[in-house]
A and B are shown apart, each in its own frame.
Chain A
Amino acid sequence: MSSLNTTAEPSRWAQIWNSNIAYSFRRNPVAVVSLLVFGVITVMSFLAPLIAPFDPYDPAQMDIMNSEYPPVWVTGADPQFMLGTDDQGRDLWSTILYGTRLSLLIGICAVGLQAFLGISIGLIAGYVGGRVDSLLMRLADIQLSFSTLMVAIIFLAVTQAMFGSETFNQYAIYFLIAVIGVAEWPQYARTVRATVLAEKKKEYVDSARVLGFGPIRIMVRHILPNSLSPIFVISTVQVANAIISEASLSFLGLGMPPSQPSLGSLISSGFDYIFSGSWWITAIPGIVLVVLVLVINLLGDWLRDALNPKLYKG
């Protein structure tokens, strides 16, 4: 049988390297640069405790006398603080590293929660169909008709009032993950449901049913692995969205407290000083945020093109 040659199997890495998706990646400079930038930002932020010169969470290392030093390329800088300091005298470079880590963590965890909720609900709605489907999808419609920020603001404002800001600040990160995670599950649920409806009609699902497999096995072992491409694509977009949501909430004072700043709360805290000439406290974290969100979205764009076989050109 000629279509299969019996030469030695190429190694796993070689297989991945030669696959269509890796090829389209290599051919797309935007995607390569984006992944590179994203990788550098992620690695550096997660290595923050090792590479940051100061610990912004340690009040002992802060000195109010060091506040509002500009970055080193501006006159009047202290060479100790590469990107200057903020209003409380924290080293901006260290604070950005820690803040980016927090923002990424919240973004990824929130998307994890969204994905878990959305994929389970979407799978059930699509596979079971009928009334269950109608009920779950109407729930999703209701959820979508509130904007994420509105839900988050109400929820966070209420919890802040209920627990007091002391307790709230302590658990802010969990509240943020929960509220961003819960607010956006319908995105996943709708996408997954649509793919499940398409996959369910294929004969391999019938074949599994004729073999007597139960619905959970068919959903998880057969349909889900074939619905992964759109899930990957929306995941990238959703991570970017979640980071922005977190930054917006923090900017409004409903997110991370100033003692544990994320990118959003850094931008917010610097905002008061922008007219007194200390632009860097807002501008530099702002640039980091924009670059981070941009590269994630660019990667998502590439992924969508690469996984869409209709756009594939040989």
Chain B
Amino acid sequence: MTISRPLLKIHNLEKRFELDRGFLETLKFKRGKLVQEKREVHAVNNISLEVAPGEALCVVGESGCGKSTVARLIAGLLTPSAGEIHYDGERIDNRSRRALMPLRKKMQMIFQNPYASLNPRMTIQQALEEPVRYHNPGLSKGEVRDKVAEVMRSVGVDPSWAGRYPHEFSGGQRQRIAIARALTVDPEFIIADEPISALDVSIQAQVLNLMLEAKDERGLTYLFITHDLSVVQHFGTKVAVLYLGSVCELSDTATLFENPKHPYTRALLSAVPQLKDDHPNHIRLRGEIPTPINLPQGCPFESRCAHANSRCQSEKPRPQLHPDGALVACHAVEEGRLDG
């Protein structure tokens, strides 16, 4: 593989959400004294990632790990609290909406819930025409129509249904239409936030195939957010495992599934219900995910980890590069305590 410039690069990205808005909410009564205190949710902490052209980077993790926040930060729906986002060599996180307009044609997003991501009061034709017209004001009526019909055909929706409203379609068809809407502006980079988790099993396969086809035909690059590891194994070229807003492990898909290193990755892999295996042998994690309001001082996974020691409690592990290309943030892996 040739080393190419990354299409997307995020550097030390952070996002905090304020819990107490306004002055009055920050006042709290503690130990008989009135103190001012601002609580914050640390959704994303110091994440750095790179996506090369043609790659499909999967971001996995459980609910509350910040994976959707990462997607929304990159898509520009949220502004980061700190850190930088570069697209094709240009910094994009601090630009105005107008300055981002040319970028909108290159980067698009697909959402989780196909029942909510299409405007219920617009016909499919209107929903698909709108972005084409908006981004290509010079096109004639006929050209717009042709473009819409072409995109609809490419996602397997009959163009003669364009006059219908979203509620007349099933979930799988709606997700096809949502994908079509993203494709109308001919993007090169797609952020997909759990695009198939709201769909039925047989429909999941259809949509996943559609996304793979689009990848081959249009040369798309994906950032794929999911909680489903079997989808990751099938779809991703690289995987980032997120826990409590930090990256635990980042490596090639094949490497990660053959040789998972971080204790959390191992637990996650072992918890997937297997079809043919009669005897589940999953690694039990104690406790539950801590709240992202008060982050632990050391390793975020320390409270549930079977290999934690005092160093894990006090010092946050840095990502270490392994010979097989995996980046792992774990003291136990670093010290070789895990397999001993």
A277 within 8 A of B: no
B246 within 8 A of A: no
Question: Contact between B134 and A212 (Cβ–Cβ < 8 Å)?
Answer: yes
Question: Contact between B135 and A212 (Cβ–Cβ < 8 Å)?
Answer: yes
Given A203-B111, A204-B116, A210-B173 contact (CB < 8 Å): no
Question: Contact between A210 and B77 (Cβ–Cβ < 8 Å)?
Answer: yes
Question: Contact between B121 and A210 (Cβ–Cβ < 8 Å)?
Answer: no
B53 CB, nearest partner CB in chain A, Å: 20
Size category, A interface:
10 to 19
| A221 and B164 alpha carbons, distance in the complex (Å) | 18
B108 to chain A: which residues have CB within 8 Å? 210-211
| A53 and B181 alpha carbons, distance in the complex (Å) | 62
| A225 and B130 alpha carbons, distance in the complex (Å) | 15
Question: Contact between B109 and A207 (Cβ–Cβ < 8 Å)?
Answer: yes
With both beta carbons as reference points, the residue of chain B lying nearest to A205 in the complex is identified as B119
Question: Contact between B181 and A207 (Cβ–Cβ < 8 Å)?
Answer: yes
A204 CB, nearest partner CB in chain B, Å: 5
How many residues of chain B have a CB within 8 Å of chain A?
A: 36
Question: Contact between B101 and A206 (Cβ–Cβ < 8 Å)?
Answer: no
Instruction: From the candidates B109, B164, B168, name the one contacting A210 in the complex (CB within 8 A).
Output: B109
A4 to chain B: which residues have CB within 8 Å? 161, 164, 168-169
Question: Contact between B120 and A226 (Cβ–Cβ < 8 Å)?
Answer: yes
Question: Contact between A203 and B77 (Cβ–Cβ < 8 Å)?
Answer: no
A75 within 8 A of B: no
A251 CB, nearest partner CB in chain B, Å: 42
A222 within 8 A of B: yes
Question: Contact between A3 and B109 (Cβ–Cβ < 8 Å)?
Answer: no
A130 CB, nearest partner CB in chain B, Å: 9
B151 CB, nearest partner CB in chain A, Å: 14
Chain A proximity mask over B82-105: 1 for CB below 8 Å, otherwise 0: 000000000000000100110011
9 A-B pairs, CB-CB below 8 angstroms?
A203-B116, A204-B119, A206-B72, A206-B117, A207-B178, A207-B181, A211-B131, A212-B100, A213-B134
Query: B residues within 8 Å of A by Cβ?
Result: 72, 75-77, 97, 100-101, 104-105, 107-109, 111-113, 116-122, 130-131, 134-135, 158, 161, 164, 168-170, 173, 178, 181, 185
Known A-B contacts: A204-B120, A210-B107, A225-B121. Give 10 more (CB < 8 A): A3-B170, A204-B118, A206-B117, A207-B118, A209-B76, A209-B77, A210-B109, A211-B108, A212-B100, A226-B119
